[in-house]
Amino acid sequence: MSGDGRADDDDLLRAVARGDRKAFARLMERHARPMLALATRVTRNPDDADEIVQDAFLKVWVMAVRWQPDGEARFATWLYRVVLNACLDRGRRAPFHPLEDAGDPPDPHPAGLDLAMAAQRDSVLSMAMAQMPTRQRNALTLYYFSDLSAPQAAEILDLSVSALEALLVRGKRSLRAMLQRQGIGGIGDLT
């Protein structure tokens, strides 16, 4: 088995194709957390993100018998594409905002204030990123919020690394300009 996870994933997919539930559970343990993080960041809705990831793993269960280990993409790359495309499809539908989105009053304790400030920063960042061109938003999301390397993010977006880097530069510039128009000087590494 190779160190890149491909052979491990391919071996697990072969076992899943034979109906091995433990192999399927191992695939989920390995990939569910980054998929959920990506879906949450793109949809900005934890309930939608959870549903998208569940649907993606249902597709894994169904497609395991047809998986070609020597195909163009590694399993992880394929799964990122499935989740990202599902998020984009979900974004085209009319939004539903659950009551929980109204939020709770901020905790007056220092930790509560820190949490509230972080939530507000994430909200401002999400709103600004929602106004960006889709390709720039996806590049920033994959690279900065999904713990992927530039080559991995480029592969998922079907770009060269240099094209991804150019997209990241334009995306950061767009994001910085949007935040400055709102009177915000910068938010961490992104701006």
Question: Domains of the chain by range and CATH?
Answer: 6-92 (1.10.1740.10), 107-190 (1.10.10.10)
> Could you give the CA distance from residue 54 to residue 35 in angstroms, rounded to a whole number?
10
Secondary structure of 68-88 as H, E, C letters: CCCCCCCHHHHHHHHHHHHHH
Q: How many helices (H) and strands (E) does the chain have?
A: 8, 0
Model's pTM, two decimal places? Answer: 0.63
More confident residue, 56 or 67: 56
Q: Which residue has the tokens 């194709």?
A: 17
d(CA 25, CA 31): 10
User: Tokens 């085209």 correspond to what residue?
Assistant: 92
Under the banding of pLDDT at 50, 70 and 90, the label for residue 186 is: low
Do the beta carbons of residue 157 and residue 149 sit within 8 Å? Answer: no
Q: Is residue 147 within 8 Å of 34, Cβ to Cβ?
A: yes
Interval 143-152 mean pLDDT: 88
Q: What is the largest CA-CA distance in the chain?
A: 57
Q: Is the pLDDT of residue 60 over 90?
A: yes
User: What amino acid is encoded at 158 in this protein?
Assistant: D
pLDDT at 135 over 70: yes
Spatial contact of 128 and 175, defined as CB atoms under 8 Å apart: yes
Nearest residue to 100 (alpha-carbon basis) of 118, 72, 87, 119:
119
* pLDDT at position 164: 94
Q: What is the pLDDT of residue 7?
A: 52
The mean per-residue pLDDT over the stretch 97-107 comes to 66
